[in-house]
Amino acid sequence: MQPVPAITPEPVAPRPRRGLRWALALAVLGAGLGAAPAAHAAASPYERGPAPTVASIEASRGAFAIAQSTVAASSVSGFRGGTIYYPTSTAEGTFGAVAISPGYTATQSSVAWLGPRLASQGFVVITIDTLSRYDQPASRGTQLLAALDYLTNTSGVRTRIDRNRLAVMGHSMGGGGSLSAANSRPQLQAAIPLTGWHTVKNWSGVRVPTLVVGAENDSVAPVSSHSKPFYTSLPSTLDKAYLELNNASHSAPTSTNVTVAKYSISWLKRFVDDDTRYDQFLCPAPPASTTIQEYRNTCPHS
C-alpha cells in the first residue's frame, strides 16, 4: 500500500448537467463573446490526457501514472472497504470518480483489473467489497453510492476528485446494483452494468447515460431476460448503448477484456468528462465482429 499524499484542495464550481453546459457554451459563442476558435471553445474543460486513438484505449495502461491505497472495512460504513486507484498527478486538474461492485458471492478481486486500467486513463476508481457476498442488487447499488460518498467526502484522495463527475459500474448483481444506483441518484454522469443481473427489468426512470454490456453465451444472466430488457426499458431519449460480447460467458468482464475496457473507457470519457474526442469510438455504432455480437445505441449524443 502506498500512502496517499496530502493535496491542497482545488476549488470546484458547481457543474451543470451536460445539456445545460453545452447550451451555455453555445449561447456564449452565439453572442460573440468567445474570442477563441469554435473548435477550441467547444472542447470540454474536463478533458484529461492526450487525444485518444484505438491503440490508446485498447492499451493495458493509459497516459497517467497511478498509485493505489487500501480502504479497510473497519474505516468505512455502508460498504466493506476496497481499493482506490488514482492518478498521481493533478497537473491537469481534478478527476471524475468511478465505484465498481463485484457480483454475487464474489469479492473486489473479480473486478480489480478495471482499477488500474481506468485510473491510468484519468479517473479515480474504487473497487469495493460488499457488506455480504450474498447482497442483492439493490443493496449493492446503495453500497456503490456509499463508496462514492466516501471517496468525495472523507477519503485521502477526495481533493483529487470533482464530486460532480461520478459514475458506477458493476458485474452481475453488481451490474444490477449500478442500475439501482443510477435510478436513485440521477446526478450521476454514467452507469455501466457488466453482464448485469436484476429481478427488475424496467428502468424507464433512469436519467443517467448508461452502457449496458451483455454476453452472448451468458447462462447466468441471459441477455434475453437481463441486458436486452434493461437496455430496451431505458428511455429512448437517454444517451444509452447496448454492447453484446461475441461468444462470451457471464464471467467475461471479471478478467482482462479489451472490448469491455475499450468501450467502458470511451463511455466514461464521453459522459463523465464530456470529452467528445471519444465519440469516434461510440458513434456510429461499431459493427459486429469477432468480439462484438451486437451493438445498439442512440447516437448522435446530445
Task: Give the residue numbers marked as catalytic.
Answer: 172, 218, 250
Burial of residue 287 (CB within 10 Å: 0-12, 13-18, 19+) is exposed
Cα separations in angstroms, 2 against 87, 127, 131: 13, 16, 25
Cα separations in angstroms, 40 against 47, 233, 270, 285: 12, 37, 17, 26
CB 103 within 8 A of CB 38: no
C-alpha span between 94 and 88 (Å, rounded) = 11
Picking from 264, 207, 215, the residue whose alpha carbon sits closest to that of residue 236 is: 207
- Interstrand relation of 161-171 and 123-128 (parallel, antiparallel or unpaired): unpaired
**Which residue is listed with cell 484505449?**
57
**Which residue is listed with cell 461468444?**
247
> Degrees (nearest 5) of the Cα angle 68, 262, 61?
35
Picking from 271, 70, 241, 66, the residue whose alpha carbon sits closest to that of residue 165 is: 271
CB 123 within 8 A of CB 133: no
* β partners of residue 71: 82
Q: Beginning with the edge strand found earlier in the chain, give each strand of the sheet holding 240-245 in spatial order.
A: 66-71, 82-87, 123-128, 95-101, 161-171, 190-194, 210-215, 240-245, 292-297
